[in-house]
Chain A
Amino acid sequence: MKTMKFNKTKLSEAELISSAYGDANIFTRLKILYLRKKHPELKALFCEYKSTAKLLKNIVPEDCPDTLLPTSLKQNRKQYHPYLIKVLLGLINKPALPAAAFLILIFITLFSVLKTSPEQSFSQLEVELANKQVKQTLVLVNSVFRTSTKQLRKNILSEKVANPINEGMNIIEDYIKEKQNETLN
């Protein structure tokens, strides 16, 4: 492999060629860009390669003649939609694409499941029935509270609290009266 030397910079022909064909890395390209400005002979060589690369890009590959295609394929050809084939082949041939699509699909599904809680729909009849049941429950609770209040006032407060207090007060009163009588006598 030839190596060209420009001032102190070495440049291999491979680097020059790959740069002209657009394969070289950015550092090689910059090096050649710098050297091209200083050395006209290098510039001429680079232009030669570049023009050949351009010509190569213009070469259109020949289409395969229809006569070579199997008959089954020729019959079925019209059934295929080119776009559909393109998409299908894209999915088949590039594993990164279906993988990415699959991941996106999973992400969307998870996101939608987590974000929206399941909404249940009820019929009008069910709603009315539920209202009625709620009202009945409230009435029951209300009646329980009323009964409890009554029992508290009548039975508990009067019998269990007020009566013993009254008894105690009477005892105290009797005791005080006895003491008063004793002092008077």
Chain B
Amino acid sequence: MELVDLKYNILVQRYKNKMFGYALYMLKNRMDAEDVTQEAMIRLWKNVNSFKVRAASSYIMRITHNLCIDHIRKATISKNQFVSIDDSFLELPDNDETNSPEMETQKNMIGQELESLIRQLPENYRAPFVLYQLQGFKYKEIGQILDMTLSAVKVNIMRARQKLQDDLRLYENHEIQ
């Protein structure tokens, strides 16, 4: 196996889940996320020799981010895609049937709602938030990926957290009523 193949394979193995996860949160749609991930892998293969391995994580996530942005711009995201986030709620049992641990169900519901709320965050909050909170990137790396200053990254993450909290509060109030 050639060195280029080895480098590419190692990078794909390492970042495939992060690429896919990020695309999934950014595009709110599994199929679009799959398309973007595949496209990102192709771009990575084409440019595998044009970046240093140390900067690989920033480079790969930047490709993925740019492709997601392109995809968002090109496609007019229909309302059905927003609705699909809540598909999981259809599978939940009715309140009357929930004799099983109520708290556990509630927790699961809030967890699912949280995931959907993350997907509904404004794009400028969502990208740094997902990269930091779910993908485990550092502020500095996120700044490189999204071409933002460090303070902008911090502020956006903080605002995303704040917004999520407010949205969750609204959801809980709505559920209680």
Q: Judge if A126 is at the interface, Cβ distance under 8 Å.
A: no
Best-buried of A14, A49, A56 by chain B (most CB within 10 Å): A56
Q: Please, how many angstroms separate the alpha-carbon atoms of A17 and B132 in the complex?
A: 15
A52 and B114 in contact (CB under 8 A), knowing A62-B21, A93-B57? yes
A92 and B54 in contact (CB under 8 A), knowing A48-B169, A56-B134, A59-B111? yes
B114 and A68 within 8 A (CB)? no
A61 and B41 in contact (CB under 8 A), knowing A14-B158, A72-B5? no
Chain A at the B interface: mostly helix, strand, loop or mixed? helix
Q: Judge if A76 is at the interface, Cβ distance under 8 Å.
A: yes
Residues of A near B53 (CB, < 8 A) are 92-93
Q: Which residues of A contact B (CB under 8 A)?
A: 13-14, 17-18, 21, 48-49, 52, 55-56, 58-59, 61-65, 67-70, 72-73, 76-77, 80, 85, 88-89, 92-93, 95
What are 22 inter-chain pairs, A to B, with CB distance below 8 A?
A14-B158, A17-B162, A18-B158, A48-B165, A48-B168, A48-B169, A56-B114, A58-B111, A59-B111, A59-B134, A62-B21, A68-B20, A70-B12, A72-B5, A72-B9, A73-B9, A73-B13, A80-B9, A88-B10, A89-B10, A92-B10, A93-B54
Q: A59-B114, A80-B13 are in contact. List 12 more A-B contacts (CB 8 A).
A: A48-B168, A48-B169, A59-B134, A62-B21, A63-B17, A64-B21, A64-B37, A69-B41, A70-B45, A73-B9, A77-B13, A93-B57
